[in-house]
Structure formats: C-alpha cells, structure tokens
Structure 1
C-alpha cells in the first residue's frame, strides 16, 4: 500500500489559519499605537504636538481587521461554499486595509485633520504631519493577510470538515489492518461504541 502524500506546510489548514489570525491581530494591534505625529507652527495653537493613533487616523482599519479575523475563524468550521465566501470576505478586508493604509501614508495631514481640529478647536491650523512606522507594519501585516486569504481560497476547497455526524455516515471510517489511526477518528469511533483498535 503506497503512503499517502503529505500536504506541504504552506497548504495546511492549521498553518494558513494561524498565519491569517496572527496577521489580522497584528493589523489591529498597530491601530492602538501612534500612526501620525503632528507638529504645529510656533504660536499657532497652545499645544506643540499631537500624536494620532491608528484607530483615529484610519478608523476603517480596525473594523476591517476584526471582520477579517471573524472571517478566518469562520473558515475553520464552514463547509466548502461557506469557506469560499468567508475567504473572499477576508481577502476583501485585507485589500481594504491596504488601500486605507496607503492613503494615510500618502497624505498623513489629511488623515490627521479631524483629530487636529478636535484637539485644537481650530480648523485648518498650520501643521506638519509625519507617519510613524506603525502604518508600515499594518501594511506589511495586511499583505500577509491578503496572501493567506488567497491561499485559503485556492487550497481550502480541498479541506474537509470533520464532525461526528460525518464520521457516523462515512463507510470508509474504520481503518484497515496496518493503517494509521488518527486521534480524531479514534474519538469518533469510541463515541459510537466502536473500538478502533479491535
């Protein structure tokens, strides 16, 4: 009997899901940090500087990161069609994050304008806005997230959803002589009162 070919690490469900979850959490984590540092012209306002966190500079990024995280978790329990839909949502969320972050990097002054107005009470005050490295980190994490989502859409079609109901209806569950026994399968057989080692 020929051995079943092993699945490459980059195609494994656990690998891709963990990669996507970590990327989504990384994106969300960056939004709690300072994305934009704003310096004001001398004498323009009372304060000399303002730090704008990512959650204020790019509100959509936090929301999209949470949507992506929920979508990734959904792919772990979804059927084939639902997995494709969830994977597409994750991919679109990642692309949305990339677009928003690029907008912040391209024009940090515009991204900080609302917070500058709230902090100073003056609209259109002269300021100099520069980004920190956190938007770049969010951009890198969102690219990883998009890549993971793309791989989930591509190889996720071959993933199987294992439940006790699937096990009960499958006729090819019981191992043959010399076949390896999977721990999940063992529990399924035992739950049906069947000893897989007998």
Structure 2
C-alpha cells in the first residue's frame, strides 16, 4: 500500500493522537510557581496556562473523527483548518516555553492567593519552572501539522466513503425479494415509502 493510499489512515491517526495529547496535557501541571512569601508552590495546569488548549484539542479530535467519513471538499477544508490550528497552537505553546510569562500563571496565582493585578502577582512570584508537558504538547502540534499536510497532499486520491453514509435516494438499490424490517427502516431514512 502506497503513501497516498494510506493518506486517510495516516491523517486520521495523526489528528486523533495530537488531539488526545492536547486533552491529556490540559489536565497536567505545566508550570510550577515558586512563591516569594515562602508559601507552598503553586501548580498551574495546561488549561490555565493556555486557555484555548482544551477546546481546540477537542476540536482536533472531532476533525479527526469526521475526516474518516467526509467527502473530498470537506477533506480539503479540514486540512486547512487543522493546519491553521497546528500553527496557532504550536506558536502559542512555543512562546510559553521560551518566555514562561506571568500572564500564563496570573489567573492561578490570583485564585490561590487572592491577589490581583500584574504588580501584586509579580511580587508573589519568585520563579516559574516548566514541566515536560509543554514540550510534549508542542510535539503533538508538530504531529498535527504533519497530518494536516498529508491531508492537503493526498485528499483527492482517497477512496470514496461507503454507501452507508449517503443520504440521496439515487443510490438506493431495489430488490425483487421480500423486504425485511431493516430494509423498511432504511427506506424510511431515505424518505421512501417502504410499503411500495
């Protein structure tokens, strides 16, 4: 089987893997804040450090599931959307990795200490330590970018979806034999009178 023939399975697997990494990492500790007042360290989860992480990861999972059954035009649309999402999420995750800004820990510090405002938060924060989760998440976005490029390169040559996903009556096969309950239900789903 060639790369083009495996395009759909490679792309769907990449979407699902990167979305799962994003969802899992959103619940894990990304940043540990050392406090200047000698209080207990504050743990900042990925969903607080990067608020769009969980919803966009869920969207990537949904794209991956839908990608397995959509037609050619929607494959292209999904490929473009996934490319944009991977670039946006990759850039924001990389920025957080390189700078570990106070804005990423601000909401969690405010929730823990009750202090608000950038000056008050800066006085409380003695240091910010990164965990391995942002790096793993960045790898997930690289996987998503690669999978979306697979979609953009191979979407025209994927096999068509099965008849079970079609809703038009033009592809209905009429049988000369007896009609059972399942055939009647399928006829109703297509808008055809099963009592014909």
TM-score normalised over the length of structure 1:
0.73
SS of 2:2 mapped into structure 1:
coil
Paired with 1:10 and 1:126, the residues of 2 have a C-alpha distance of 56
2:75 to 83, 87, 91: 83
- Indicate whether 1:54 and 2:46 are aligned: yes
Count the aligned residue pairs.
161
Is this contact kept in 1: 2:90–2:138, CA < 8 A?
yes
Matched residue SS, 1:92? helix
Paired residues for 1:1-198 under 5 Å: 6-8=1-3, 11-41=6-36, 44=37, 47-110=39-102, 111-122=104-115, 123-124=120-121, 125-127=123-125, 128-164=127-163
Counterparts in 2 of 1:10 and 1:59: CA distance versus 1, 3 Å: farther
Report the Cα offset of residue 132 of structure 1: 0.4
Q: Measure, in 2, the Cα distance between the counterparts of 1:40 and 1:10.
A: 54
Cα displacement string for residues 150-184 of structure 1 (whole angstroms, at most 9, x for unaligned residues): 11111122112232259x86xxxxxxxxxxxxxxx
Name structure 2 gaps, 5 residues minimum: 172-196
RMSD (CA atoms)? 2.2
CA shift at 1:58, angstroms? 0.6
Partners of 2:106 and 2:133 lie apart in 1 by 18
Secondary structure of 1:59's aligned partner: coil
